């Protein structure tokens, strides 16, 4: 495990990343089996839930850029009724950013209130910071 973050919107919802290139979504009350396993490539170094859009997670995929994953509505609307599946059912990559030439390392959302969210991402070896709209 390389990163773990809790949803600020849905109680008990966790996003967990690891070197095995999968983002796993868990109900913290039942952590033995993930609700979803989302293959993203590159090894997951950082995951951050969007501050106002409960379904969106910004992910730094070390060798495969930055991605925004949109979770299926069931995961954020009624976690109690969600059953674990063996795949990424209902989850999708809606945006990706490949503007870095080095390891995708750091990522976070802007907390500004406007329709287009600003994202800041940084890479490891080339020490670059990019700000982009998501």
Q: Which domains does the chain have, with CATH numbers?
A: 3-133 (2.130.10.10)
Q: What is the pLDDT of residues 6-29, one digit of tens each?
A: 999 999 999 999 999 999 999 999
Q: How large is the average pLDDT for residues 19-40?
A: 95
Backbone angles phi, psi at 79, to 5 degrees: -60, -30
The model carries a pTM of 0.93
Beta carbons of 76 and 7 less than 8 angstroms apart: yes
Backbone angles phi, psi at 77, to 5 degrees: -85, -45
Supply the mean pLDDT for the chain: 92
Beta-carbon count within 10 A of 53 CB: 15
């Amino acid at each position: 495990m390389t990163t773990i973050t809790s949803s600020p919107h849905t109680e008990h919802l966790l996003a967990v990343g690891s070197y095995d290139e999968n983002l796993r979504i868990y109900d913290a009350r039942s952590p033995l089996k993930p609700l979803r396993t989302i293959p993203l490539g590159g090894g997951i170094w950082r995951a951050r839930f969007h501050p106002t859009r409960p379904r969106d997670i910004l992910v730094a995929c070390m060798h495969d850029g930055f991605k925004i994953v949109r979770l299926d509505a069931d995961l954020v609307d009624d976690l109690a009724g969600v059953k674990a599946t063996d795949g990424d059912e209902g989850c999708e990559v809606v945006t990706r950013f490949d503007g870095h030439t080095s390891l995708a390392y750091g990522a976070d959302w802007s907390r500004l209130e406007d329709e287009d969210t600003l994202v800041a991402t940084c890479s490891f070896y080339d020490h670059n910071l990019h700000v982009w709209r998501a």
